[in-house]
């Protein structure tokens, strides 16, 4: 059985994606970079049902970890919480099993663009849900925008 201190440590470790969220400046970009670099090894080799299962697992674990990290740090959506970037970027990649290095970089750039600018309904999703789920869902929406854009770019070129 895990004590409260160890649960808190685990929550922060997961929420910061192995502490990559503590890198400065722009922790969300660092978290996304870590997710991009690990995607070809941990995520993309899986078949589509496997990638969907991983996304659901990251959503569940991230919702818990982000919510706990908000409680531990005493603020809403702390900047060091980047597990949501992992979910969003991997969601952007999920439908494209054979991405080139350029595809990974393009997906990364598109995801960061939509995550930072938060076009409708991304911003609204951030506030529509409370706690850890609110932290996570806006990045899924940003990832969906990135996936659609990546698909259009791949279709055109």
Residue numbers of the domain that contains 94:
16-156
pLDDT in tens, 16-68: 999 999 999 999 999 999 999 999 999 999 999 999 999 999 999 999 999 99
The tokens describing 120, both together, are 């409708």
Total length of the chain: 157
User: pTM to 2 decimals?
Assistant: 0.94
The Cα 112–Cα 89 span in angstroms is 8
The Cα 42–Cα 6 span in angstroms is 25
Domain membership flag for residue 48: yes
Q: What is the pLDDT of residue 125?
A: 84
Mean pLDDT of 127-140: 92
Domain membership flag for residue 11: no
Domain membership flag for residue 104: yes
Domain membership flag for residue 9: no
Report how many domains make up the chain: 1
Choose among 138, 149, 67, 156: nearest CA to 107: 149
pLDDT in tens, 73-82: 999 989 999 9
Q: What stretch of H or E contains 87? A: helix 83-93
Domain membership flag for residue 3: no
The tokens describing 59, both together, are 């959503």
Domain membership flag for residue 1: no
Domain membership flag for residue 10: no
Domain membership flag for residue 148: yes
**pLDDT confidence bin for 101, thresholds 50/70/90:** very high
How many whole angstroms from its chain centre is CA 100?
20
> Three-state SS for 107?
helix
The tokens describing 10, both together, are 């685990």
- In this structure, how many other beta carbons lie within 10 angstroms of the beta carbon of residue 3? 8
Mean pLDDT of 124-151: 93
The Cα 106–Cα 128 span in angstroms is 29
């Amino acid at each position: 059985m895990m004590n409260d201190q160890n649960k808190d440590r685990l929550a922060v470790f997961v929420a910061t994606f192995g502490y990559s969220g503590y890198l400065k400046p722009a922790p969300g970009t660092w978290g996304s970079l870590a997710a991009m670099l690990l995607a070809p090894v941990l995520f993309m080799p899986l078949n589509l049902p496997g990638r969907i299962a991983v996304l659901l697992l990251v959503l569940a674990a991230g919702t818990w970890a982000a919510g706990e990290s908000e409680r531990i740090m005493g603020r809403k959506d702390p900047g060091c919480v980047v597990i949501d970037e992992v979910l969003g970027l991997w969601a952007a990649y999920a439908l494209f099993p054979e991405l080139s290095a350029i595809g990974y970089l393009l997906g990364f750039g598109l995801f960061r663009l939509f995550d930072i600018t938060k076009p409708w309904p991304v911003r609204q999703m951030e506030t529509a849900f409370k706690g850890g789920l609110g932290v996570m869902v806006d990045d899924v929406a940003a990832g969906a925008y990135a996936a659609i854009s990546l698909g259009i770019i791949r279709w055109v070129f």
